[in-house]
Structure 1
Amino acid sequence: MSATILLLETLADEAMEILESAEDVEVIMGLDDASLQTALKSHDISAIITRGKGQIRASLMDQVPNLKIIARAGVGLDNINVDEASKRGIKVVNAPNSNANTIAEHTISLMLNLQRNLFSAFTMVKEGRWKERGNYIGDELHGKTLGILGMGNIGKKVARIAEALGMKVYYWSAVKEPVPYPMLSLQEVLKSSDVVSLHLPLTVETENLINGEALNQMKTGALLINTARGKIIDQKALFKALESGKLGGFASDVLAVEPPETDEPLIKHPNTLITAHVGSLTKTTYTQMCIMTVQNTLAILRGQEPMENCIFNKRNLIN
């Protein structure tokens, strides 16, 4: 008897080929509200697969009484009500560690671009203003101190790259990790770092963790990098810190509201570099996340063992 898998978003072609070639599953699409409602009314759904946009809350679970699996082709799970799924005995599946390399690279890219003021340097040449090179102001990362908040898979990779660039690394995390970097209190990391990089999950405890008080504890002129979740930062306090000069610059792949409002002041601030949550959207990582998620979903539906740690629990939350 075949199982039905509902897709709330498209997946990489390679992952779709795996699904479509599986004779024991039926794949249906719910890419918009109309097709979703049709799918819910006409099928007995066993699994739902989403990426980052599809919201899976209690109201949707109520409409899928025989749901066994909720799978996200990614790492973070803030678009899924994990607690509610757990209460109902629904397995929540993600792709742990699948984006660590690409997010670490993106973090370092943002850090380098911000510290060396490369965006302005690129723009100057493209606009034919080569002779203005005398006005260029930038600095290097070598010899600077990097404070990492969250020493999970991504934090560890960022630390190793930063160390190779000649940076001193400190960190603060929920638990002490087996790494060769000093673990300090949050306040100590903020006070001692030239650059602070966020690699924390979004939880009740971490929402608005970087608020006005935390920003005031940072070195004057320090840089803040965020490739984790936008709501970890109080954006109003962040803007004030940039305007006052307390914060030297902000580079991020995430914002509290995505896409941002058209009047979001951070977007056009001269000391910010913001990308559109594209850190994981390299072809290699996107394809890997989708394939991993599909394979694990099929394994569970077939009563087989999925890959280690793909079924969510608290210990693989920090990424």
Structure 2
Amino acid sequence: MKILVDENMPYARDLFSRLGEVTAVPGRPIPVAQLADADALMVRSVTKVNESLLAGKPIKFVGTATAGTDHVDEAWLKQAGIGFSAAPGCNAIAVVEYVFSSLLMLAERDGFSLHDRTVGIVGVGNVGRRLQARLEALGIKTLPLRSASR
């Protein structure tokens, strides 16, 4: 199996080499000629994955190393019978830790206790739920705001 991976995906060769031949390619743009004999494509958000990129190519699977999928035409992949996987939550813990440490820095800098505050959380998805759980575990009140579309 020939697997094309975005050259900016660290450890991709190590992770996928047991599955087949791994070739690193520029993600912006992917050289179309290299898609001609590839079985799988691993991308980041800089690569637009759609019919114009993959029509007539032997790609059987596309993976993205991102939580979001705005760069992937999932409906077309499904119609074309191409498998797809994303990485929802892949950065959730890092984002929660960043937000949490930022709150601690602000509290120290401005001389207040988070225990006496209520933290508003806009969006209670993967990241928001994790942040809410950590804050509440420390006795910090939260005010979660869910998306109107849910």
TM-score range relative to shorter protein: 0.7 to 0.9
Q: Which runs of 4+ in 1 moved over 4 A?
A: 32-35
Task: Call closer, same or farther: CA 1:89–1:173 in 2, change over 3 Å.
Answer: farther
Letter of the aligned partner of 2:96 in structure 1? Answer: A
SS at match of 2:47: coil
Corresponding position of 1:16? 13
Q: CA deviation at 1:32?
A: 5.6
Q: Which of 98, 102, 109 is matched with 2:90 structurally? A: 98
Match of 2:116 in 1: 143
Q: Which has the larger radius of gyration?
A: 1
Count of aligned residue pairs for this structure pair: 150
Is 1:26 equivalent to 2:24 in the alignment? no
Name the CA distance, whole Å, in 2 between partners of 1:68 and 1:39. Answer: 14
Ranges in structure 2 where 5+ consecutive residues have no aligned partner: none
**Structure 2 CA distance for partners of 1:85 and 1:32, relative to 1, 3 Å:** closer
Pairs within 5 Å for 1:102-181: 102-113=94-105, 115-116=106-107, 118=109, 137-173=110-146
Task: Map Cα deviations across residues 72-122 of structure 1 (whole Å, 9 max, x no partner).
Answer: 123221222223222322222022333322221112123333x3374xxxx
User: How far did 1:33 drift?
Assistant: 5.7
Higher relative contact order (CA 8 A, sep 6+): 1
Task: Tell me: CA distance 1:87–1:147, structure 2 relative to 1, closer, same or farther (3 Å).
Answer: farther
C-alpha separation in 1, matches of 2:16 and 2:27:
20
Quick one: distance in 1 between partners of 2:115 and 2:21?
Answer: 54
Paired residue for 2:2, among 1, 4, 22? Answer: 4
Instruction: Determine if the alignment matches structure 1 residue 51 to structure 2 residue 44.
Output: yes
RMSD value over aligned CA atoms? 2.8
Task: Looking at secondary structure, tell me which structure has more helix per residue.
Answer: 1
Unpaired runs of 5+ residues, structure 1, are 119-136, 175-185, 187-204, 206-317
5 Å-filtered alignment, 1:146-225, equals: 146-173=119-146
Contact 1:143 1:166 in 2 (8 A): no
Contact persistence 1:68–1:91 (CA under 8 A): yes
Q: What percent identity do the matched residue pairs reach?
A: 27
Alpha-carbon distance in structure 2 between the residues aligned to 1:103 and 1:173: 18
Quick check: 1:69 aligned with 2:61?
yes
Per the TM alignment, residue 139 of structure 1 is displaced from its structure 2 partner at its CA by 3.6
The 1-side partners of 2:119 and 2:79 are apart by 40
